[in-house]
């Protein structure tokens, strides 16, 4: 029996009918708390071997000690278990497994195939974010860093209907970052949950278990509309809406805009955008209209992927804002045309024009009587004729902003405009409270003494004199239009400022200046309450200051010309280099804005210099200001535009010191002597006074102009005209004059 069995066995064996060699065919790997298990399936042999011998080598072919693993073998399965998480089988290491099957009855053994085994560490998927480019979605997934780095990844991507084809996406990766990008615009779609697992491929080692699952989704995010601004260009309204930036950025936007009548056509507007703003611009002047509330909703468009939900509502409108009118300034030209120049608060957006509603005491005046021009900060209303606006009439002005065909704003606040010209007919004495009166007011002698007066008439500073060049009568100040006067004594080292020959003040009266004939320049920055002095003693004859008081120029007779750009605190000698003349510098004046200065020698020469970096070498001789080559220059007056009024002993000239055209002679009476000249800051109101002798009596008179010197009239009011030392000063705004002689008189 035994022989038969063996014989039969051998017969089968030798007929190659037996399957005695084990074949390892499939591996399952697990890792529990670091303990690696290889579960290998193998083909079942015809007979069960009597003995199995296990052999495991590493990638170098070195046998692995059996101390690091245990194993069990059945006819169809091998289970190899690591003995330790630290010293047993290691992850990401390639092992080669082979078994030998012994058949005692045959006296033979058979080797299996060599089977690679490894536990490859799977990735752990963490957070992700979506990106969008060229209509294709990408999921950028952060994962744990694997060591060693995998050679690649395999993905299983599922949507709610099941696993999607790998042809619909591609995988790229760097250390710890795995990017799954759609291979076309339809590869991955918006607003769908994709469940993603990844396995790490370790080249010849093998492929890991699948990772944990992560849900990735590309949401079509709706924009969030915030604040907006309105702009206007060529009657086209634009709403620029600030948005909260979001990622990924859309390819475009679509709008749903309604007005009170319903949804408006998208043909009426266009949309452009940046990451932080959406600009909606009307396609014509009727695309968006003024004074209408537009409800705007926007949706983000992501190419062929779809469109987001609509945003929050944003109410946008363009309400034309009325201008805010501020204090006007008024002027009159050589043709008696009056202009109201009104400062306004700039409007945004800027209007295309303005319309006016102007009334006088009789009612609304016709718009034919005036025209309107404007800049962003001023509106000029100019009469169309000399009777369009009249002097000394209160005009009530309201203006509305016009925005082309879009509409017109409400009217502005109301202001009153009144061109109050110099009143020749009414003069009042304002020094009657002074007792005892000095002999005369003004500088006396050769000085252009005059007085300094603020535009509101409250503050007046006046030197007093005894009719000689060496005046000794001090300086008087009023802060209440002459109701009371104070003789200056506070803060001076020269008793009562004796020797004062000239004074001036800023437009408000805050800054006051007094030149002493043989000593110093005194200055006050507190409306004349107290004075300080500049320690440069010269023979001063005249002082002049800019409207704000910051720039001061002082004529020093034969001592030269002196300058201050810090309200008189320090003084610099700026006398034109190499220039001298008999009696020296009779007058020196600074323009109202402080941009230039002029100075004149008694000998007749007139010099000009801008105040930028002024010094002794910046002066220019202006021969056109004295075309007749006269001597005996007495007085200069200037405006910002260069208009210059020059008084010589024998005549008066009017010209422009910034130009090259010769100054023109103002028609005068013969045998008259001309002394003092004065002008308003804008040059519309001018005055000069003269003297003449008749029957051994010295007479004084004055002529004035309210149209820039185009016509002149006599001051006909009853003023002292005989045997007096006289100065006359025009207020900076040109609305009144101050006449100083044995008293001080004020017009109007």
With tokens 């779609």, the residue in question is 189
Residues 583 and 678 in one domain: yes
Residues 619 and 529 in one domain: yes
Q: In this structure, what token pair is assigned to residue 125?
A: 């998927």
- Tell me how far apart the alpha carbons of residues 669 and 690 are, in angstroms, rounded to a whole number: 10
With tokens 């690696």, the residue in question is 36
For residue 176, being part of any structural domain is answered with yes
CA distances to 36, 93, 149, 152, 447 from 204, rounded to whole Å, are: 19, 10, 13, 12, 111
305-364 pLDDT, tens digit each: 888 889 999 999 988 889 999 988 877 776 778 899 999 988 877 888 999 999 999 999
Beta-bridge mates of residue 57: 63, 96
User: Which among 50, 84, 117 is the end of a domain?
Assistant: 117
In three-state secondary structure terms, 291 is coil
CA distances to 400, 409, 728 from 350, rounded to whole Å, are: 12, 12, 45
For residue 401, being part of any structural domain is answered with yes
State residue 659's pLDDT score.
Answer: 92
State residue 493's pLDDT score.
Answer: 57
Q: Which residues of 419-448 are buried (b: 16+ CB within 10 A; e: fewer)?
A: bebbebeebeebbeebeebbbbbbbbbbbb
CA distances to 119, 272, 306, 585 from 298, rounded to whole Å, are: 53, 12, 14, 76
The full DSSP string for 668-713 is --TT-EEEEEEE-TTSSSEEEEEEEEETTEEEEEEEEESSTTSS-E
Q: How many residues does the chain have?
A: 748
User: Which among 269, 291, 316 is the end of a domain?
Assistant: 316
- Tell me how far apart the alpha carbons of residues 489 and 493 are, in angstroms, rounded to a whole number: 9
User: Which among 417, 448, 483 is the end of a domain?
Assistant: 417
CA 60 to chain CA centroid, Å, is 73
Peptide bond into 51 cis (omega under 30): no
How many structural domains does the chain have? 5
State residue 495's pLDDT score.
Answer: 59
Largest CA distance in the chain: 184
Task: Report the run of H or E that residue 127 belongs to, with start and end.
Answer: strand 125-133
Query: CB–CB of 410/400 below 8 Å?
Result: yes
Closest CA to 244 of 272, 222, 270: 222
Task: Read off the CATH number of the domain in which 707 is found.
Answer: 2.130.10.10
Peptide bond into 148 cis (omega under 30): yes
Q: In this structure, what token pair is assigned to residue 524?
A: 């006050």
HEC letters along 368-383: HHEEEEECCCEEEEEE
- Tell me how far apart the alpha carbons of residues 481 and 487 are, in angstroms, rounded to a whole number: 15
CA distances to 1, 48, 69, 111, 450 from 55, rounded to whole Å, are: 37, 19, 11, 10, 125
Beta-bridge mates of residue 552: 545, 564
Query: CB–CB of 85/133 below 8 Å?
Result: no
For residue 105, being part of any structural domain is answered with yes
Beta-bridge mates of residue 687: 678, 704
Residues 652 and 520 in one domain: yes
If one counts every other C-beta atom within 10 angstroms of the C-beta of residue 566, the result is: 12
For residue 209, being part of any structural domain is answered with yes
Query: CB–CB of 609/620 below 8 Å?
Result: yes
**HSE value, Cβ hemisphere, 13 Å, CA-based, for 457:** 15
Residues 551 and 625 in one domain: yes
For residue 589, being part of any structural domain is answered with yes
Residues 410 and 394 in one domain: yes
Query: CB–CB of 738/728 below 8 Å?
Result: yes
State residue 4's pLDDT score.
Answer: 34
Residues 639 and 723 in one domain: yes
State residue 748's pLDDT score.
Answer: 73
Residues 235 and 286 in one domain: yes
Closest CA to 409 of 341, 326, 352: 352
For residue 481, being part of any structural domain is answered with yes
Residues 407 and 452 in one domain: no
- Tell me how far apart the alpha carbons of residues 609 and 618 are, in angstroms, rounded to a whole number: 6
Task: Read off the CATH number of the domain in which 82 is found.
Answer: 2.60.40.10
CA 96 to chain CA centroid, Å, is 74
For residue 422, being part of any structural domain is answered with no
| 576 dihedral zone (left: phi>0; alpha: psi -120 to 50; beta) | beta
**HSE value, Cβ hemisphere, 13 Å, CA-based, for 211:** 27
CA 401 to chain CA centroid, Å, is 24
Residues 141 and 280 in one domain: no
Residues 608 and 669 in one domain: yes
Quick one: DSSP state of residue 550? -
Task: Report the run of H or E that residue 195 belongs to, with start and end.
Answer: strand 194-201
In three-state secondary structure terms, 11 is helix
Closest CA to 634 of 670, 589, 682, 668: 589
- Tell me how far apart the alpha carbons of residues 445 and 463 are, in angstroms, rounded to a whole number: 12
- Tell me how far apart the alpha carbons of residues 664 and 651 are, in angstroms, rounded to a whole number: 11
CA distances to 332, 343, 396, 524, 576 from 337, rounded to whole Å, are: 5, 20, 18, 39, 40
Task: Report the run of H or E that residue 3 belongs to, with start and end.
Answer: helix 2-14
Residues 593 and 695 in one domain: yes
Task: Report the run of H or E that residue 242 belongs to, with start and end.
Answer: strand 236-243
Long-range contacts formed by 690-695: CB under 8 A, 24+ apart: 691/726
Peptide bond into 349 cis (omega under 30): yes
State residue 445's pLDDT score.
Answer: 46
Closest CA to 274 of 302, 309, 243: 243
Contacts for 695 with CB less than 8 Å, ≥ 6 apart: none
State residue 30's pLDDT score.
Answer: 87
Handedness of CA 510, 511, 515, 519 (dihedral sign): positive
Residue segments in the chain with a per-residue pLDDT below the cut of 50: 1-9, 11-15, 445-447
- Tell me how far apart the alpha carbons of residues 357 and 422 are, in angstroms, rounded to a whole number: 27
Task: Read off the CATH number of the domain in which 146 is found.
Answer: 2.60.40
Angle (CA) 192-194-198 rounded to 5° is 165
For residue 728, being part of any structural domain is answered with yes
Beta-bridge mates of residue 214: 196
- Tell me how far apart the alpha carbons of residues 451 and 512 are, in angstroms, rounded to a whole number: 10
Boundaries of domain holding 310: 225-316
Task: Measure CA of the first residue to CA of the last residue in the chain; give whole Å.
Answer: 158
Q: Which residues of 97-136 are buried (b: 16+ CB within 10 A; e: fewer)?
A: bbbebebeebeebbebeebebbbbbbbebeebebebeeeb
Residues 140 and 201 in one domain: yes
């Amino acid at each position: 029996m035994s022989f038969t069995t063996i014989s039969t066995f051998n017969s089968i064996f030798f007929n190659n009918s037996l399957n005695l060699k084990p074949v390892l065919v499939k591996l399952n790997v697990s890792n529990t708390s670091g303990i690696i298990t290889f579960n290998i399936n193998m083909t079942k042999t015809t007979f069960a071997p009597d003995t199995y011998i296990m052999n495991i080598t590493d990638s170098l072919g070195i046998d692995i000690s059996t101390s690091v693993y245990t194993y069990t073998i059945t006819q169809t399965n091998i289970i190899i278990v690591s003995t330790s998480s630290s010293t047993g089988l290691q992850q990401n290491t390639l092992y080669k497994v082979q078994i030998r099957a012994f058949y005692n009855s045959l006296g033979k053994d058979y080797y299996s195939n060599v089977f690679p085994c490894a536990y490859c560490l799977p990735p752990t998927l963490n957070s992700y974010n979506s990106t969008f480019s060229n209509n294709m979605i990408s999921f950028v997934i952060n994962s744990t860093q694997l060591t060693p780095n995998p050679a690649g990844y395999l993905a299983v991507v599922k949507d709610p209907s099941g696993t999607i084809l790998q042809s619909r996406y591609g995988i790229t990766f760097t250390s710890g970052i795995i990017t799954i990008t759609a291979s076309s615009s339809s590869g991955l779609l918006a607003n769908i949950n994709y469940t993603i697992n990844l396995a790490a491929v370790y080249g010849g080692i093998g492929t890991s278990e699948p990772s944990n699952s992560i849900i990735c989704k590309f949401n079509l995010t709706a924009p969030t509309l915030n604040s907006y601004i309105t702009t206007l260009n060529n009657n086209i309204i634009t709403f620029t809406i600030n948005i909260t930036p979001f990622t990924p950025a859309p390819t475009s936007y679509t709008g749903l805009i309604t007005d009170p009548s319903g949804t408006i056509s998208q043909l009426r507007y266009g949309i452009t955008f940046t990451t932080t703003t959406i600009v909606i611009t009307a396609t014509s002047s009727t695309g968006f209209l003024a004074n209408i509330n537009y409800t705007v909703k926007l949706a983000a468009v992501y190419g062929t992927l779809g469109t987001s939900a609509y945003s929050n509502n944003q109410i946008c409108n363009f309400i034309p804002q009325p201008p805010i009118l501020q204090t006007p300034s008024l002027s009159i030209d050589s043709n008696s045309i009056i202009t109201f120049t009104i400062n306004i608060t700039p409007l945004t957006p800027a209007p295309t024009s303005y319309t006016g509603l102007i009334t006088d005491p009789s009612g609304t005046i016709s718009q034919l009587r005036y025209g309107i021009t404007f800049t962003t900060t001023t509106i000029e209303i100019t009469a169309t004729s000399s009777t369009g606006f009249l002097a000394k009439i209160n005009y009530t002005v309201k203006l509305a902003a016009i925005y082309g065909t879009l509409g017109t704003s409400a009217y502005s606040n109301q202001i009153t405009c009144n061109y109050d010209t110099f009143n020749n007919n009414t003069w009042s004495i304002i020094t009657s409270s002074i007792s005892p009166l000095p002999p005369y007011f003004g500088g006396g002698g050769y000085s252009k003494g005059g007085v300094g007066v603020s535009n509101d008439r409250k503050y007046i500073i006046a030197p007093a004199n005894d009719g000689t060049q060496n005046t000794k009568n001090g300086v008087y100040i009023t802060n209440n239009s002459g109701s009371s006067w104070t003789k200056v004594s506070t803060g001076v080292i020269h008793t009562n400022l004796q020797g004062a020959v000239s004074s001036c003040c800023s437009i408000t009266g805050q800054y006051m200046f007094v030149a002493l004939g043989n000593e110093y320049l005194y200055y006050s920055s507190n409306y004349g309450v107290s004075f300080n002095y500049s320690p440069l003693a010269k023979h001063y004859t005249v002082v002049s200051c800019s409207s704000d008081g910051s720039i001061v120029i002082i004529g020093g007779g034969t001592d030269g010309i002196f300058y201050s750009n810090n309200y008189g605190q320090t003084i610099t000698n700026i006398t034109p280099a190499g220039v001298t003349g008999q009696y020296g510098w009779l007058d020196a004046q600074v323009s109202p804005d402080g941009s230039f200065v002029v100075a004149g020698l008694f000998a007749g020469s007139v010099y000009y210099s801008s105040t930028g970096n002024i010094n002794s070498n910046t002066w220019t001789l202006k021969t056109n200001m004295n075309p007749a080559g006269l001597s005996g220059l007495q007085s200069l007056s200037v405006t910002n535009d260069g208009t210059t009024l020059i008084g010589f002993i024998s005549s008066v000239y009017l010209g422009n010191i910034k130009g090259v055209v010769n100054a023109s002679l103002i028609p005068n009476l013969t045998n008259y002597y001309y002394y003092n000249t004065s002008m308003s800051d804008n040059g519309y109101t001018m005055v000069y006074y003269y003297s003449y002798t008749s029957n051994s009596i010295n007479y004084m008179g004055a002529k004035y102009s309210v149209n820039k010197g185009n016509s002149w009239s006599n001051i006909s009011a009853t003023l002292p005209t005989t045997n007096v030392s006289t100065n006359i000063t025009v207020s900076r705004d040109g609305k009144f004059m101050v006449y100083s002689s044995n008293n001080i008189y004020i017009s109007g």
